[in-house]
Structures are given as C-alpha cells and as structure tokens.
Amino acid sequence: SAVISQKPSRDICQRGTSLTIQCQVDSQVTMMFWYRQQPGQSLTLIATANQGSEATYESGFVIDKFPISRPNLTFSTLTVSNMSPEDSSIYLCSVEGTRRVGTDTQYFGPGTRLTVL
C-alpha cells in the first residue's frame, strides 16, 4: 500500500482563522480525496482533488470554505477557511490508483484532528 502522511496531525485553532492541511504520498497516484469525520461518525467525502484542475466538491461543501490544491500526483492541500466550532473534526486524505495496487482500492492517511475554539 501507499505511505500517506498528513500535516499537522492535530491543531487547536481560534474561530475565524484558517488552517491548511497537507497530504503527501510516497508514490504517484491517480486519485486523491478529502474526507471529514465528525466525532463518533462515519466518513463524509468533501471533494475529489484533481491534478491540474479545480477540485470536484460534494453536495454541502463549497470551494470558498474548503479550497483544495493538487499541484502534482503526490501532494494535495485542504484549507478549512473562516473556521467555527462546527468545523471541529478529523480531516482525512485518501488516495487511489497507486502503481503497486489496483485502482479500485483506497488508502487513508492518519488524519488531522482539528479543534476550533
């Protein structure tokens, strides 16, 4: 499987500020995704990060609130903008389509635990 790292692993932020989360993969991948996992809940897809073009957002998520970049096949960022306490969650990066496995398998990073005060 791919080795996926996320930075920061956790952060405590003030209301109204923004935080950028980085996701780095040790090999080139075709697909990268960003998920949110609220406390005690399942995973909700925020968007698909497309290399070289704008991300594809799911219903209920917008680019102004969650801008995403994907400058190459191994790296992506998710920004949580103008944060409120409701944004306190775990944010997870996932990848699909590594050179070593089939394209239908998705692997997750360790997550970024965000607390907004």
Partner 1 sequence: GQQLNQSPQSMFIQEGEDVSMNCTSSSIFNTWLWYKQEPGEGPVLLIALYKAGELTSNGRLTAQFGITRKDSFLNISASIPSDVGIYFCAGREQGAQKLVFGQGTRLTINP
Q: What are the two backbone dihedrals, phi and then psi, of residue 36, each rounded to the nearest 5 degrees?
A: -120, 140
Nearer to partner 1, 88 or 106 (CB): 106
Dihedral sign for Cα atoms in the order 98, 109, 19, 48: positive
The neighbour count for residue 80, using CB atoms within 10 Å, is 25
At closest approach, how far in Å is the CB of 93 from partner 1? 8
Q: Under 8 Å CB-to-CB from 17, ≥6 apart: which residues?
A: 82, 83
Residue 33 and residue 94: Cα distance in Å, rounded?
A: 5
At closest approach, how far in Å is the CB of 84 from partner 1? 23
Nearer to partner 1, 13 or 45 (CB): 45
Q: Which residues would be at the binding site for partner 1 (CB under 8 A)?
A: 1, 4, 31, 33, 41-43, 45, 48, 58, 92, 102, 104-111, 113
Nearer to partner 1, 28 or 48 (CB): 48
Nearer to partner 1, 28 or 50 (CB): 50
At closest approach, how far in Å is the CB of 62 from partner 1? 17
